[in-house]
Structures are given as C-alpha cells and as structure tokens.
C-alpha cells in the first residue's frame, strides 16, 4: 500500500532547492533531500526519477502549452501573432506566487553548467515543437523556425526580467513589452 | 624534437569525421583516428585536446568574428544592422569549399545528443558575446539580447539551408534572405 504523504512532493522540491543552493547540485543526494523533507528516499523516488527531475519536471506540459497556444488565433494571422498567443498561454503558467520559487530555481541552474545545457536543450525542444505547430498552421519555412526561435528568445528574456529583484509586473505584461521590442530591432537609433 | 607532419591536422580531421559517421562518435577513439590517418596517437594529441575538439575547434575565433563584425557599422544604426554586419563577417568563414566538410560535421552532430547540447552551448556563447558587443555600441537591453539571439537564429537557420542538398547559393546570400524574412514575421498572411 502506498502511504499518502500530504504535500510530500512540494516539501521535496523545497528541500531540494535549498540543498542545491547551500551545498551545490552535484554534492546533493536524493537521500539527503528526502531526509531534509522528513521523508524516505523511497518516497523521493515515487515522485521523481532523479534529483535533476526536481528542476525539470513538467517539461512536456510546458511544451504543450506553447503548441496549444499557437492554435488559438484564426488562420491568416501573422506568424508573430500565433507566437504571441503561445507566449501569453505560457506566461499564465507563472502567476505571482511562483516568482520566488522560480528565482531560486534560476540560481541553482546559473551555478551549474550541466544544468544550463539541460535548460538550453529544453528550450530548443519547445522551439522545435512550436515551429512544427506553426507549420501545421500553414506558416512556411524558414518563417516558422524563425518565429518560434524568436518567440522562445522573447520568453527567456522576459522571464529573466520577471525574476529580477524589484520587478513587479506580471510575466504576461513583461512578455508583451519584450515582444514589442522585437519588432523595433530594425529601427535606427537603437545604438545612438 | 617535434616532427613536422605535412597536412597532419586536416588528415586527422578527415579521418575523425569518417570514423564518427561509420561507427559513431562514442565508439571512436583518438588512437583509431590517428591510425586511420596514418599518424601516431601522440601526434593526435599535439593537435587536439580530445576527439570532441576535432568538431569544435576554433570556437573563440568564430565568436570573435561576430563581435568584430558588429563593430563595423557607424553609431546610430539599428541593432539589426549591426547584427547583419556580424552575420556577413561570419558567413565569410564558410566559402563554397567548406560546404561538404560542414555537411559531414552536421551529420555527426545530428546523430549524437551530447554533441547537440555542446553545439547549443557554443551558439549560446556566441549570442552572449554578440549581445555584449551590441551593448558596447550603445544598444540597450532587452534589445541587445533580442537582436543577438535573433541573429544567431538567423545564422543557424541559414546555415542549415546552406547545407541542404541542392542548395547552391553562397552562405552570405542565404543569410541575407533569412534575415529579410525575420523582419516580415509581424506581417499577416504568412499562414493563410
């Protein structure tokens, strides 16, 4: 019989990130995370495949949200309109109450090159899935890939701003501002 | 006394890529590469740190070419004009005679997820250096990062097209066409 641990999953996540920050990702074991959360190692492995999954869980869902978002606008809209719809849907995944946890996760990843590679690969996967969704909607190459990759760049830049200390705007608003910026890059005077 | 091996470096590169394609990157050793090139393992290690470096040598130079290219246009130009100058300079690194070798390298990387991660990290490094060069020229954030990342996306997409069978245009021309496409993404009708 599997024993029900109330809040076990989120207790494990909190404990993991605290340990990753205190002593490093490589130096932290699943057993330590479980102990710190007051749970058994077996419980840890009921929730996560390994310690890395604590940081990268939900990737399929994250990707699917972009894909579903791009299906929203009517046919005939510009590629960037589809991308904008995808980004808005993805931004909804990160309400205000997730900001602090996302900041801590970002600090863990910034401290570890292997985790950074993993994060880049995750974002590349989302971009490829979004490009496929755009082609599905009739956007030709190379526009589909360009629009999808640019969209992920916008999301990443906006996400970084959203995590900055003192930033108060909701993520969707930051995404909108960065997306608007993307369309002005061809305008002179930016480096006056 | 170090013995001079005429063409040793390029013979090692050719042998390495052939072996990577024939039997897989992981399965190939430096000793096998050296033997296949008719050279000693010691000679291999005089030219390369490890077998991965055969595929990723010259990364600092590659990055510097983008940075130097962005320094060309006069102040006050649009961020994308600086990026365009950087891309043109980078495209010069790949004349027609390098196309076949680049195709083979691409096939090696496409077959190996760890090499793909390494390639993504390399491109992320170039984008970060280019963004820094744009800030140096007075482009503010987030425009600098957006422009640099978009530039690398354009380069990657164009490079992929340049490697496609039957593609005859020089890389600089393909880059120009893809860059032009980037500025049309906000235009409706792309997915009509």
Q: What is the pLDDT of residues A156-191, one digit of tens each?
A: 999 999 999 999 999 999 999 999 998 888 887 544
Q: Percent of chain A, pLDDT > 90? A: 80
Domains and CATH numbers, chain A: 8-54 (1.10.10.60), 58-182 (1.10.357.10)
Our measurement of the distance from residue B27's CA atom to the centroid of its chain's CA atoms, rounded to an integer in Å, reads: 24
Per-residue pLDDT tens for A136-147?
A: 999 999 999 999
Mean pLDDT of B162-183: 94
- ipTM for the whole complex: 0.78
Inspect the interface and report whether the beta carbons of A188 and B78 lie closer than 8 Å.
yes
Q: Which of A76, A141, A190 to mutate to test the interface with B (most CBs of B within 10 A)?
A: A190
CA–CA dist A187, A102 (Å, integer):
34
Spatial distance between the Cα atoms of B31 and B186, rounded to a whole number of angstroms = 53
Mention every residue, 6+ apart, whose C-beta is less than 8 A from residue B98: none
Of B82, B124, B153, which has the smallest distance from its Cβ to A120's Cβ? B124
Convert the pLDDT of each residue in B17-76 to its tens digit: 999 999 999 999 999 999 999 999 999 999 999 999 999 988 899 999 999 999 999 888
CA nearest to B147, candidates B63, B187, B87, B72: B87
Asked if A181 reaches chain B (Cβ–Cβ under 8 Å), the answer is yes
Mean pLDDT of A100-110: 94
Task: Find the residue in B nearest to A149 (Cα).
Answer: B153
> Which residues lie closer than 8 Å to B191 by C-beta, 6 or more apart?
A75, A76, A77, A78, A79, A82, A134, A137, A138, A139
| Cα–Cα dist B35/B128, whole Å | 39
**CA angle centred on A11, ends A5 and A17, rounded to 5°:** 150
> Does the beta carbon of A109 lie under 8 angstroms from any beta carbon of chain B?
no
Mean pLDDT rounded to a whole number for chain B: 91
Q: What is the rounded CA–CA span in Å between residue A18 and residue A164?
A: 19
DSSP state of A96: G
What residues in A contact B158, CB-CB < 8 Å?
142
Question: In B, residues 134-163, which contact A (CB 8 Å cutoff)?
Answer: 134, 137-140, 142-143, 145-147, 149-150, 153-154, 156-158, 161
């Amino acid at each position: 019989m599997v024993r029900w641990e109330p809040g076990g999953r989120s207790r494990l996540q909190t404990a993991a990130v605290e340990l990753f920050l205190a002593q490093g990702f490589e130096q932290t074991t699943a057993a330590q995370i479980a102990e710190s959360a007051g749970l058994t190692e077996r419980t840890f492995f009921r929730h996560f495949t390994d310690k890395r999954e604590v940081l990268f869980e939900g990737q399929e869902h994250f990707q699917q949200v972009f894909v579903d978002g791009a299906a929203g606008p009517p046919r005939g809209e510009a590629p960037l309109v589809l991308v904008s719809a995808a980004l808005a849907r993805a931004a909804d995944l990160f309400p205000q109450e997730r900001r602090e946890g996302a900041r801590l996760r970002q600090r863990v990843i910034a401290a570890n090159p292997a985790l950074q590679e993993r994060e880049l690969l995750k974002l590349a996967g989302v971009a490829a899935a979004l490009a496929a969704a755009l082609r599905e909607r009739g956007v030709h190459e190379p526009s589909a890939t360009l629009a999808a990759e640019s969209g992920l760049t916008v999301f990443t830049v906006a996400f970084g701003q959203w995590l900055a200390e003192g930033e108060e705007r909701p993520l969707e608003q930051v995404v909108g501002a960065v997306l608007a910026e993307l369309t002005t890059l061809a305008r002179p005077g930016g480096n006056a």
